[in-house]
Structure 1
Amino acid sequence: MKLFLPTLVASVVLMLSGSTDALNVKMPGVNYNSRKGPDWAPDSSKCKTASEVQKDMYALKGITDKVRIYSLVDCNQAELVLPAAKNAGLKVHLGIWTTKSHDYLLQEKAKLAGLIDKGLYDNNVIGLHVGSETIYRKEITANTAISYLNEIPDFGIFKEDDTMKSNFLQLTIGWKDPKAIRNVGTKLLLSEKDGNVYMSSKSTDWLVQEQQVWFFDSATQQVRSKSSDRCLDAYQGWNGGIVHVYRCMDHEVNQKWTLESSTGKLKHVKHQGFCLDTDPAQGNKLQLYGCSPNNPNQQWSVINPANI
């Protein structure tokens, strides 16, 4: 998981009705809250329903392409806003609310984990911020705010120095260390960006370098991207079948691969007889294709990224 600095948003107060259609302006973003009642009211009176949130998202689409929320927990708005925003064609910037109580942060973190497990946290999420004006309101100190922020990347696999976290080191992993996957024929590297896979050459750009790093979990037979924490996935068992990355699910059969060390082939477990293939004639397109002997398009070497 990656953290992003908050995107530019415009705070507006709207009576979300047909009158918003009259606004002849497109805003970079809008802050949103699904509350409709006071703090002391029960959720049934305080919080909007899923249908009301959906109506709001459709109305907001007329003036913006992005919405930002400040809490995942309050009124359960993350679970309501994420699917509603996607239905309306809106991107979402999520927020984690913080207070002087660390227990509240734990609630927000638990909700974030739940969103990930349910597949709601996907590429429709454009950012995640931690806290809002708590230092300004003198609720917490700057050091506390920083400590809260530093807790959130713990949902990822790697530390900031690119070493794998200890809880993942205890797993049974074939490529325990991050690896690059290079095609023998083209010498290009398997890479991932925004849910798509592509082939790229050696780069000095650290963002591209991160997109070129993978590891293999021999227990689940998944090839996982370091950049996005998504897994290599192929759901079409025919020549030219689509290969992409998708949220890692241990029991998803479309994400099962085996590396045949003698031939360098990455074979798909479900679609037997099909291998990961790159086609130079189609701009090095990555695809699933029938395994064929001595085909350089299907031969892969797993190497240390430092040796690229």
Structure 2
Amino acid sequence: MNRLNPTAMTLIGGVLVLLLLLFVFTRSGNENSDRLSDDQIAARAAATDPEKACASQATYDLIKGQLFRSAAQLRGSDQPAFDKLAAASVARMDAPMLKSHDEQRGAIACSGTLSLDLPPGVAVVGGRRTLSADIDYTLQARLDGNSALTLTNADAIITPLSTLAKVGTPLEDPLAPTNQADPIDAPPFVAEPLPTEPAPAAPAPRARPSFNCQNARTAGEIAVCNDPGLAALDRQMGAQFNTAVADADAEQRIALQNTRGRFLDFRDRCRADDCIADAYRGRMNEIRDIMAGRWHAP
């Protein structure tokens, strides 16, 4: 039997080394592709254990991402900045519950109380950094193996979230590298800051309406908290309403209370300050008409 000469042995050894390197690099390159996205994790959980899918962190992260996307759309800009803020925020769910499971459609409907904790350095109007709401959410499997998410009753979070602004220097991370010159060391929500605008930590005293702006949630409430003229109208109308209730007879008191909700609904649907101001003036005329006996139910 002929022995291999040294040259042939060297060639064979080189081929084996190349094959080993190719295997290592191929395996390393596939590691990230093997990782599942939040969509895929939620879809698999929904298919195997619907109750677990309602309460999974992957589902909460999907909800968080959609909340920030909806807020950016409502604001009309700043999608990249909102994406960075979403990554730095934390979504929590209390009492998640499976409401229904449609196996044929691959859909599950859930509900729960969502709390969204914003990162240091940003807040919504009124200075709040935690937003909460009772929401409903539906997960439905798609053909590509991901999961489609639908949110309802989330406006109490989305509307204030669209008012995000910087309120100061973010808290320093004691574990962060000391070299602050490298932009990689900066928190993700500072890399592309939100537009410079007045910090909403608290409304100015001259813009203080009759209600507490820290609890402002609807678009109308937020607009009133941000405008001194609207806040003055709100105080004037509130004082008129309280005086009217104190002086009203039983029938007038019922009319005052029944029309209050209609006024608030109309105000909160306004998309401009002029509309809100007209709503307050109309409400004050309505209160006067009720007390004078000139008002009739529509």
Compute the TM-score of the two structures, normalised by the length of structure 2.
0.27
Structure label with greater radius of gyration: 2
Whichever structure has more helix as a proportion of its residues is 2
